[in-house]
Amino acid sequence: MDPKPRPNHQIYIEVLRKMTPEQRLLKACELSEFGRQLFLHGLRQRYPDLPEEEIKKIYLERLVKCHNRNY
């Protein structure tokens, strides 16, 4: 059972299938960059008084932690 209704999911799948491999790769890169920017924004919101260097340090530490967990 799907916990959340997704009325547009089938349309989304059809759009992805119509894309060329290059278009799908570009979309994946775009989404990856969006996720990165969103994560950094969240860190800045959570730690507004930290300098940018510290924010980036936390960002990289958490990426490494996430990466290591997946392997």
User: Has residue 55 got a pLDDT over 80?
Assistant: yes
Q: Has residue 71 been placed in a domain? A: no
Domain extent for 29:
21-66
For the entire predicted model, the pTM comes to 0.71
pLDDT tens sequence across 18-36: 999 999 999 999 999 999 9
One-letter-per-residue 3-state SS of the chain = CCCCCCCCHHHHHHHHHHCCHHHHHHHHHHHHHHHHHHHHHHHHHHCCCCCHHHHHHHHHHHHHHHHHHCC
User: Has residue 1 got a pLDDT over 70?
Assistant: no
Q: Per the structure, how many domains does the chain have?
A: 1
Q: Has residue 45 been placed in a domain? A: yes
What pLDDT, on the 0 to 100 scale, is given for residue 70?
67
What pLDDT, on the 0 to 100 scale, is given for residue 15?
95
